[in-house]
Amino acid sequence: MPIPVIDLFAGPGGLSEGFEGYRYGDDRVFRCALSVEKERFAHQTLLLRAFFRQFAKPPKEYYAHLRGELSLRDLFSKYPRKHEKAKTTAVRLTLARWNRKRIDRMVRKALRGHEDNWVLIGGPPCQAYSLVGRARRRKERRREFEKDGRHFLFKEYLRIVRKFRPPVFVMENVKGLLSSSAKGVEIFELMLKDFSAAGYTLHSFVKRGEGKQLEPIDYVIEAERFGIPQSRHRVILLGVRKGLERGSRCLSESKKRIPIQAAIGDLPDIRSHISPPSRDSFQAWERELRRLRSVFGRNGRLRGRRIGRRVLRKLDGGAEFIPTKHNKPRKRSWLHRFKSWLIDRRIKGVTLHDARHHMPTDLRRYLFASHYARVHRESPRIADFPWWLRPAHKNVRKAVKDSLFADRFRVQMKGKPSSTVVAHISKDGHYYIHYDPTQCRSLTVREAARLQTFPDNYYFEGARTAQYQQVGNAVPPLLARQIAAIVRGILAGA
């Protein structure tokens, strides 16, 4: 019988998707017995996935919902029992003192009959730990920063560890956690001491050893080293209840880094929408790009590279659903290796592949940046832009000299893993410019989800901003699946 997993601070469910998707031989090893998340749309995403997992073969109505042909309410109304069961496993709730009794009841119910053989996963919200987030707080009063309750949300996670004593737990957070402090106390050191005092030995997934044998940096997983097409560095702790130590192994490093185009290159080519929407048309897009030719000289060149007619080929801006047939992935490619995980032909197309609306001035910057990256094999910094293409506000003038924000417009370089997909992608696409100049746009929700290794049939609920936030906050499921293999080995004594 599958081992129950409880996911706290679950976000859209990247960790639990990896555990659910792990197989030992042909056997399913883990099942997500409970996911708890407070954010409305992330919870709806969890609820839909909990519903999906109850079917050996998902019904046609599920795919109708993905294509926008059936509302979530109508989908659930067709399978009320499945919906009710999903509601018991995907719960919208804030993990806080005032909800502790309710949370404890749900945990007990989820673990009934498995109290000595289960796994706790998840991670507290990370905004207060974020390196960039703290950089933005430099002008705030230190006292106010230290009052930020998000520093100590891990205490709710720790409380569950102490009370219910899982044999194994997995806790994820941002790298900034390692240097975060409040009232002179190093947050990460406090975490380690608290978990040790609770009766747990802490391990790294990338370096052998335990406790004091490890440095804080040893708990950081660099996802691109393990087959993820994204340079994502996160702290992930493996806690094993003392007395159960049977030796743990580390993640196996991939022989090659997976470039961005291996993950998203098969998705339909689309163009940016133009803002405001009332002006959006292919003709308007073509007109704006023609104006940029002066940047490249009279002959349309940037150091010998011509802006050809292909840049002006007729593309549309994509859609929430694009009907299309998937071509067979090239053999021995990354997509071919994981086609059963990523691709679902029953969708009959691609979801969430709708380009953003951009101002004409940003379109010009995107075209310049993507061409510059193609020629120089690196993304341009603000200082590399012609003066008249630079945004005319103080932060940009400062960025010319400030290394922290000098790459305000960042091209995702073909031939390399993408940069980290973070929740900030919901605010604008400037850090996520597509490598193909002919598309002149930022990444779509589905492209970001592919870089995070979510299956194509994993649907993110809510408006586009909420979808981007969910994707950016998640743990890559294919990384979580590798973590699940290590956890199984510990529980099995292997």
Q: Where are the domains of the chain?
A: 3-254+474-492, 260-458
Closest CA to 234 of 490, 479, 486, 485: 479
The pLDDT, as a whole number, for residue 300 is 46
5, two tokens: 């997993």
376, two tokens: 């120089």
Closest CA to 240 of 218, 219, 212, 211: 211
Give the amino acid at 222. Answer: E
Closest CA to 8 of 173, 142, 130: 173
- How many angstroms from the chain centroid is the CA of residue 286? 33
The pLDDT, as a whole number, for residue 357 is 87
Give the amino acid at 54. Answer: Q
The pLDDT, as a whole number, for residue 405 is 54
Return the CATH architecture of domain 3-254+474-492: 3-Layer(aba) Sandwich (3.40)
User: In 90-243, where does DSSP find H-type helix?
Assistant: 100-111, 131-136, 142-146, 154-164, 187-197
93, two tokens: 């709730």
Residue 115's CB: how many other CB atoms inside 10 A? 14
- How many angstroms from the chain centroid is the CA of residue 384? 30
The pLDDT, as a whole number, for residue 166 is 98
The pLDDT, as a whole number, for residue 332 is 85
Only one residue has tokens 């956690």, namely 177
Q: Which residues of the chain have pLDDT under 70?
A: 125-152, 182-183, 246-248, 277-278, 291-314, 393-406, 494
Tell me how far apart the 2 most distant CA atoms of the chain are, in Å: 75
The domain 260-458 is placed in CATH, from the list 3.40.390, 3.90.120, 3.40.50, 3.30.2310, at: 3.90.120
The residues pairing with 240 across neighbouring beta strands, listed in sequence order, are 168, 201
Per the CB < 8 A criterion, the answer to whether 223 and 479 are in contact is: yes
CA distance 234 to 143: 27
The pairing of strands 305-306 and 168-174 is: unpaired
CA distances from residue 157 to 207, 218, 487 in whole angstroms, order as listed: 24, 22, 18
Closest CA to 162 of 241, 267, 280: 241
CA distance 31 to 6: 9
Q: For CA atoms 328, 57, 474, 256, give the dihedral sign.
A: negative
CA distances from residue 74 to 41, 83, 303 in whole angstroms, order as listed: 17, 11, 56
Closest CA to 238 of 311, 161, 318: 161
